[in-house]
Amino acid sequence: MNEMTLAYWNQYWKDSEEHPPTDVEAFQFGDDANTLAELVVSGKKTATCSAHILYEIENEPLPYVGQYAIVLNAADRPVAIIQTTEVTIQAMNEVSEAFALAEGEGTYIEWWDIHERFFSELLYSYQLSFAPNMNIVCERFTVVDRFNAKE
């Protein structure tokens, strides 16, 4: 986590009576970090998904309800703090239209095309292939703070 992001995180918790979680991650969404970050800040993007198999390969814990994360733009500048409100694992071809629309990237068909391309490229780098019934981790989240509101 860079200095600016850490300062933002600490500022967010400064007046809280709670202790800040220690397992917070700072990350960029997808392959168009600026556009996706703007969708988060505007409230149009309230969900995301990831390939379940990569958690196993990379020995990473699954996301959980209540988890905080700091969303970064393409320049690694923080734009918002989000908190996970729901986590499910399901086959990609069983994802509901409502969930796809909550990702904020257009229609269900556009969501499918974007994610099929993204997962195909990502999985290829692990010598794996995309399958329509592959399990994905579906997360819903809420924005708890916007960085620009602090500037």
Domain count for the chain, please give it.
1
Sheet strands side by side (includes 135-146):
25-27, 68-72, 78-91, 135-146, 47-51
Pairing assessment for the beta strands 78-91 and 47-51 based on DSSP bridges: unpaired
CA 4, chain centre distance (Å): 20
∠ CA 131-137-138, nearest 5°, is: 110
How high is the pLDDT of residue 149?
A: 58
pLDDT at site 151: 45
Domain boundaries, position 101: 3-150
CATH number of the domain bearing residue 38: 3.10.400.10
Q: What is the pLDDT of residue 18?
A: 86
What are the residues whose beta carbons fall under 8 Å from the beta carbon of 83, sequence distance 6 or more?
Answer: 66, 67, 68, 69, 141, 142, 144
Provide the pLDDT for residue 146. Answer: 95
pLDDT value of residue 19: 86
Low-confidence residues in the chain, pLDDT < 70: 148-151
Q: What is the pLDDT of residue 20?
A: 86
